Amino acid sequence: MRILLTNDDGIHARGLAVLEAIARQLSDDIWICAPSEEQSGAGHSLTLTRPVRLRRHDDRRFSVTGTPTDSVTMALRKAMPAPPDLILSGVNRGANLGDDVTYSGTVSAAMEGALAGVRSIALSQVYAREGAGDNVSFSAAEAWGAKVLRPLLDMPFAPRTLLNVNFPPVAGDQVKGIRVVRQGFHDYGRGTIVEGMDPRGYPYFWFGLEPAEHTPGHETDLEITQDGYVSVTPLHVDLTHYPSLERLAERYGQGAD
């Protein structure tokens, strides 16, 4: 099985090394193509206003001066001799839960793979705020990554769908298991904005985060990871809200002939 690895934290990220170790438990045909610099929050953006450069580090390892989407595109069209059987994106340093997936370069890289017809999975390691910085532990991902992926290796994915996996913020031996759950939705404002002054006297603004208020019922990815489980959530690229189609058509007189 040929597996392509990518991420949004950059080619030198610890999480990418963790993902490579996981992938090598599943295959010896591993390719890597990731951004040359961190691209967290890049979403599904594509570089259009400047050239993108592809750097070869060895026969199967490349970096791209662009976004996670650029990395997948360049891997499929330029770096690899044939399409992969599976794309793995991550392991992201931090959660990609609920509606935050819309900002995520990790999830968007997997989305680009899904659009190209390749089975794609995003993987992220949730961490507690006190464990931030260089102290983030990937213990849960290291212990459970292959366990999550093995049942999926021969599973067909529906067209234009991907899987979003989040590992809980606990040690690997404390993970309670795996749960397939729906995407949750945060119930809070879009985080704090930290304001400061640069050395030249100009104000700057830095987006921060706030604790999330989780949806009730412990039925989504938001809660299940806090309960100590690995969350697996199927996502699809089609954003159409089908129940609204008929109502909108009626507004424009687009009734049945």
- pLDDT tens for each residue of 45-73: 999 999 999 999 999 999 999 999 999 99
Neighbours of 62 (CB within 10 A): 23
Report the pLDDT value the prediction gives residue 206, as an integer from 0 to 100.
83
191 lies in some domain: no
Cβ atoms of residues 111 and 28 within 8 Å: no
3-state SS class at 207: strand
CA distance 170 to 104: 22
Higher pLDDT, 129 or 14: 14
Q: Is 127 inside a domain boundary? A: yes
CA distance 58 to 73: 19
CA 91: distance to chain centroid?
8
Q: What is the reported pLDDT for 223?
A: 93
d(CA 248, CA 134): 50
Residue 212 has pLDDT above 70, yes or no: no
Q: What pLDDT, on a 0 to 100 scale, did the predictor assign at position 57?
A: 97
Q: Does the pLDDT value for residue 208 go beyond 90?
A: no
Q: State the alpha helices, DSSP H only, in 41-120.
A: 68-74, 105-115
Q: Does some domain include residue 80?
A: yes
Q: Is 205 inside any structural domain? A: no
Share of the chain above pLDDT 70, in %: 91
Choose the weakest-confidence range: 11-15, 193-197, 217-221. 217-221
Contact 36, 7 (CB under 8 A): no
CATH number of domain containing 135: 3.40.1210.10
Average pLDDT, whole number, for the chain? Answer: 92
For residue 41, is pLDDT > 90? Answer: no
Could you report the per-residue pLDDT of 87-131, keeping only the tens digit for each?
A: 999 999 999 999 899 999 999 999 999 999 999 999 999 998 765
Number of domains in the chain: 1
Locate 119 and state its tokens.
Answer: 């089975």
Alpha carbon distance 35, 69 (integer Å): 9
**From start to end of 94-200, where are the E strands?**
119-125, 161-167, 177-180, 193-197
Q: What is the pLDDT of residue 187?
A: 63
Contact 11, 138 (CB under 8 A): no
Give the Cα separation of 119 and 247 in Å (integer): 34
Q: Answer positive or negative: Cα dihedral of 175, 181, 182, 185.
A: negative
Q: Domain for residue 208, yes or no?
A: no
What is the residue type of 18? V
Output 191 or 144, whichever has higher pLDDT: 144
Q: Which domain holds residue 242?
A: 2-184+216-251
Mean pLDDT of 196-207: 89
Q: Is residue 210 part of a domain?
A: no
pLDDT for the residue 219? 82
| CA atoms lying within 13 Å on the CB side of residue 82 | 5
Judge whether 30 and 37 are in contact, CB under 8 Å.
Answer: no
170: exposed, middle or buried (Cβ count in 10 Å: 0-12, 13-18, 19+): buried
pLDDT at 214: 53
* Confidence check: pLDDT of 155 > 90: yes
Mean pLDDT (whole number) for 10-35:
98
The SS3 assignment for 130 reads: helix
Residue 199, domain member (yes or no): no
Residue 198: which residues within 8 A CB-CB, separation 6 or more?
A: 204
CA dist 163 and 121 (Å) reads: 5
Residue with tokens 């604790």: 211
Is 192 inside any structural domain? no
